[in-house]
Structure 1
Amino acid sequence: MVLRLLIFLVLGVYLAEGQYVNLTQYPGELCNSKCIPGKTKICYYHWTLEHYNAMGPACGACQQGVTADCFKPQCIIGDGFQKGVMSINRMIPGPAIQVCLGDQVVIDVKNMAMGTAASIHWHGLHMVDTPYMDGVPHVTQCPILYESTFRYNFKATQVGTHFYHSHSGHHKLNGQYGALIVRQPDEDNPLIDTYDFDKPEHYILISDWRHDYAENSFPGLPKGVSFPDSFLINGRGTYVSKDTFEHTVVPVTIYYIEKPGLYKFNIISSVSLTCGCTIQAEKHSFIVTATDSYDNEPAEFDTLVLNAGERNDVVIDAWRGSGDYWIRVRGLPSCQTQPTDTFALLRYITKPSDYKKPQPPFPSYHKTYAVGDSLNFPNATCFDNDNHWCVADLTALERDTDLATGEPDYKFTFRFYNYVFPVEQGFIPGKYVRFDNPEADVIASGVVNNMSLIFPPQTILTQYNEVNKSQMCDGFNFPARCKGQETCNCINMVKVKTGAKVEMTLIDDALVPDLNHPWHLHGSEFFVVGMALDPNNMTKAVETARKVRKSAPVRKDTVQVPNNGVVVVRFRANNPGVWLVHCHYELHLATGMAFLYQVGEPSEWRQPPSDFPKCGNYVPGIRKGYY
């Protein structure tokens, strides 16, 4: 009896009804099934995080062209080059989570990557009622130490296309990310008539890829570059030689079209470095039905642009009948120091032998597809009815007129940029200034309103009373210890009341050409009420962006700010807790281009179980003669 109880305590989860269940009886893979009204499931996963390798021994002779070896167990292909990675269950991307609205998702994450601390963020889920499961170290939880296991346990509360990724160090760029898709019963889906097929394997997960460990890019090397060597689609891609423009040949991801019709696809951008990407489908277009999981009035485009953290639900009209058609992903100009061009295949099946057809040659790098009508193209002008749409041109299906057009309770302006400081200020004996070294002797840190976010040794959400308040700033004013300085490293936290309507103006003061920063809000979605750019008059751009133009503006949780431009968003602060807001480029977050929202008072925050891990410094006083 005692042994059985111990097993349940380890493998069980406590339900609202009061009993423990044996989680091994609820494998998460079984949750990838048709959603039924009124029925929810428990979905259990066990993950192991490791240092691992791409094109290592598990891949046999894959690199030498033996295609069958590329599909061996635990073989990670990447773009065909050998390199070190950080994997989940020896997979890149990690295991896909596909569940139904309301399902209880339980993931045991064991950190076996020696010398690291870990966490996983569930990008797009708001963690309503479980804010301590958001996965941000020192904000909502302590990092998961080596040889330790942390159990994430939450409800799938938002329908749509999401993804998960590490929020520790640069583990995401090293390979720790995966798809997270939440479906709903057909009866509740307002867009069910826009497609005929929604196949679980039809997700397109885009990531950037380097041939070295991501840590080589931070703080960087004077002669190094922090751009991707290639892009991957569902963990597979091609490397393009700078000299010959030839592609490495690897087996690409293939999406099968077995019957003519309208096919839904989930597109996810898990890029980490400082460039977004375009995606096109040869002789096909994309009908966009949702962005960042929120439904919009369908709109058709030839080219989509996605930056870090953004997602689109699209419908492809598969009417061609037969043949192979390339899906192409290419980096934007900000990462064109290296030609980046990668592919997946859209394959029509007319007979059984089509499944085994050889992979056709890749298109030439110089054979581009016409841009045509585009969505989210960098620096496109908004609201002018041309063929390059901003996301702000989309119209949401779900309206909140009071939030979209009413008067906000708070109006905040956040100006962000990379603060470049003299080299001598970065290397003072006894001081350890955090910096990024993008090139030569340039050293910089990310700032928002001249403040650079740092984290306390404790977890703010669950150990608020232990946090040193002298390290805090309020988003607009320096603490006393920073008076007289140009910038300040502080726990930058903006406080709002629960239920308030918040308007946030994001202004790109970075003055870096071709760079469009993607900003992500944890714990909520927002309406994109305005976007604008005017390189010669930022004041005018801000005025333009703040004009309310639509009663049903598009809803998102991640938005690309135009280069040297402005975005205005609004959200309801109805999820009490502490939530991170940050540029989704890893190197910018690492140097502090972020801040926190404190929603409500600590007494309103949902607290974790009593045995939830705590963290902090251990610096006891020392008495002479005692050890």
Structure 2
Amino acid sequence: MYQKLYKYPIHFSLNLHTFGAKKVKLQWINDLEVLNPLDAICDRKRSDAVCVSNLKNAKAVDKSVLVERPDVKIFLPFRFYVYEPKNLFIPNTYNRYLVAPSGDHLISLVDEISYISPPAPMLSQIHDIPPELFCNGDNRPPDCGPNCECVHKVDIPLGAVVEVVLVDEVQQINLSHPFHLHGTPFYLVGMGRSPDKSIKKINLKHTLELDRMGMLERDFSKPPLKDNVAVPNNGYVVLRFRADNPGYWLFHCHFLFHIVIGMNLVFHIGTHADLPPVPDKFPTCGDHVPPVTLF
């Protein structure tokens, strides 16, 4: 423990105290509820756990966002792509990758795209970015390949009610990816796993089928408002928000080592005309990549 002793307005001293130590017997506590359990069983009432999606908002909710049919619905499966070393370490290629504890060399994919940063800021220098660098799940370059890399950008009309369905195709035991949205909070209206017990691994195709049959769990009764949510392992979450803040907003996994290998995308809300003008003589920036000559 410490104690501050104020002698002068800008000088501090510190007293340190030591305490004895002894062995203590640990006791198990079995009768308490766990918040947001890792097993992701969140679409039914439980006595041992409370999922974030089961919480009720203490404040008034925007019912116009919680309508039956949103203006825009976006499905975003995410997973890892594992390189074969013979395809990764080819001379004069410089692919990004992460070496996992298992030894696998991998990158992250969201909707089959690994995000790369643009060579200039989108907010202030959108016209300095070649249009061919942008792509999304509906507009992938034909030669993109299984490790598709681009500036992953999803355009959303200003003012639209947006529903995002995140689907965990990574399915690593006891790993829940926390996704964070910049620019606006969202209502968490659904969280869970497939109700079909024969489905051992969820994927985009199955999630789309659940949605078509009305079996994708949603609860519009005072849902909690968040800007970060952990997607259940081998499960899904359903988010709702009003796209009323124009700009280019990053949506990403909050594990830093997943961000740098592409588990991100940008929601582009509105058009560039909806933004205030760039101030006169505002500093510009590039990618600072020097010219590379191959010998």
Residues 1:505 and 2:186 are matched in the alignment = no
Q: 2:253 aligns with which of 583, 586, 589?
A: 583
Which letter maps to 1:385? Answer: K
Which letter maps to 2:54? Answer: D
Cα distance change, pair 453–71 in 1 and its aligned pair in 2 (3 A): farther
Equivalent-residue separation in structure 1 for 2:125 and 2:24 (angstroms): 56
How much does 1:438 deviate? Answer: 1.0
Please show how residues 66-81 of structure 1 align to structure 2 within 5 Å: none
Equivalent-residue separation in structure 1 for 2:29 and 2:102 (angstroms): 36
Q: 1:391 aligns with which of 36, 40, 52?
A: 52
Q: 2:221 aligns with which of 551, 558, 567?
A: 551
Residues 1:477 and 2:133 are matched in the alignment = no
Equivalent-residue separation in structure 1 for 2:156 and 2:82 (angstroms): 31
SS in 1 for 2:105: strand
Residues 1:602 and 2:262 are matched in the alignment = no
Equivalent-residue separation in structure 2 for 1:365 and 1:422 (angstroms): 49
Whether the 8 Å contact between 2:162 and 2:242 is mirrored in structure 1 is: yes
Cα distance change, pair 583–369 in 1 and its aligned pair in 2 (3 A): same
CA offset digits 1:65-96 (Å, max 9, x no partner): xx77x989xxxxxxxxxxxxxxxxxxxxxxxx
Whether the 8 Å contact between 2:112 and 2:137 is mirrored in structure 1 is: no
Whether the 8 Å contact between 2:110 and 2:265 is mirrored in structure 1 is: yes
Residues 1:516 and 2:167 are matched in the alignment = no
Whether the 8 Å contact between 2:251 and 2:266 is mirrored in structure 1 is: yes
Q: 2:156 aligns with which of 496, 500, 507?
A: 496
Please show how residues 78-227 of structure 1 align to structure 2 within 5 Å: none
Name 2:13's counterpart in structure 1: none
Whether the 8 Å contact between 1:417 and 1:509 is mirrored in structure 2 is: yes
Equivalent-residue separation in structure 1 for 2:256 and 2:86 (angstroms): 25
Name 2:12's counterpart in structure 1: none
Q: TM-score, normalised by structure 1?
A: 0.40
Whether the 8 Å contact between 2:218 and 2:238 is mirrored in structure 1 is: no
Name 2:11's counterpart in structure 1: none
Which letter maps to 2:261? Answer: T
Is 421-430 or 536-545 further displaced after alignment?
536-545
Name 1:560's counterpart in structure 2: 230
How much does 1:368 deviate? Answer: 4.5
Equivalent-residue separation in structure 2 for 1:440 and 1:477 (angstroms): 33
Q: TM-score, normalised by structure 2?
A: 0.82
Residues 1:449 and 2:119 are matched in the alignment = no
Equivalent-residue separation in structure 1 for 2:217 and 2:102 (angstroms): 42
Whether the 8 Å contact between 1:445 and 1:452 is mirrored in structure 2 is: yes
CA offset digits 1:451-509 (Å, max 9, x no partner): 00001221111100000111110233312442xx1231000000011000010000000
Equivalent-residue separation in structure 1 for 2:221 and 2:37 (angstroms): 23
Equivalent-residue separation in structure 2 for 1:587 and 1:597 (angstroms): 21
Whether the 8 Å contact between 1:401 and 1:552 is mirrored in structure 2 is: no
**Aligned residues: CA RMSD:** 3.1
Number of matched pairs:
271
How much does 1:433 deviate? Answer: 0.6
How much does 1:370 deviate? Answer: 3.9
Whether the 8 Å contact between 2:43 and 2:191 is mirrored in structure 1 is: no
SS in 1 for 2:258: helix
Equivalent-residue separation in structure 2 for 1:71 and 1:422 (angstroms): 57
Equivalent-residue separation in structure 2 for 1:368 and 1:411 (angstroms): 44
Equivalent-residue separation in structure 2 for 1:399 and 1:512 (angstroms): 34
Equivalent-residue separation in structure 1 for 2:162 and 2:54 (angstroms): 21
Which letter maps to 1:571? Answer: F
Is 606-615 or 587-596 further displaced after alignment?
606-615
Cα distance change, pair 391–441 in 1 and its aligned pair in 2 (3 A): closer
CA offset digits 1:323-357 (Å, max 9, x no partner): xxxxxxxxxxxxxxxxxxxxxxxxxxxxxxxxx98
Whether the 8 Å contact between 2:251 and 2:267 is mirrored in structure 1 is: yes
Cα distance change, pair 594–364 in 1 and its aligned pair in 2 (3 A): farther
SS in 2 for 1:461: helix
SS in 2 for 1:458: coil
Name 1:571's counterpart in structure 2: 241
SS in 2 for 1:507: strand
SS in 1 for 2:283: coil
Equivalent-residue separation in structure 2 for 1:399 and 1:567 (angstroms): 19
Which letter maps to 2:263? Answer: M
CA offset digits 1:137-171 (Å, max 9, x no partner): xxxxxxxxxxxxxxxxxxxxxxxxxxxxxxxxxxx
Which letter maps to 1:505? Answer: V
Equivalent-residue separation in structure 2 for 1:436 and 1:466 (angstroms): 30
SS in 1 for 2:61: coil
SS in 1 for 2:122: coil
Residues 1:406 and 2:76 are matched in the alignment = no
How much does 1:430 deviate? Answer: 1.0
Whether the 8 Å contact between 1:420 and 1:443 is mirrored in structure 2 is: yes
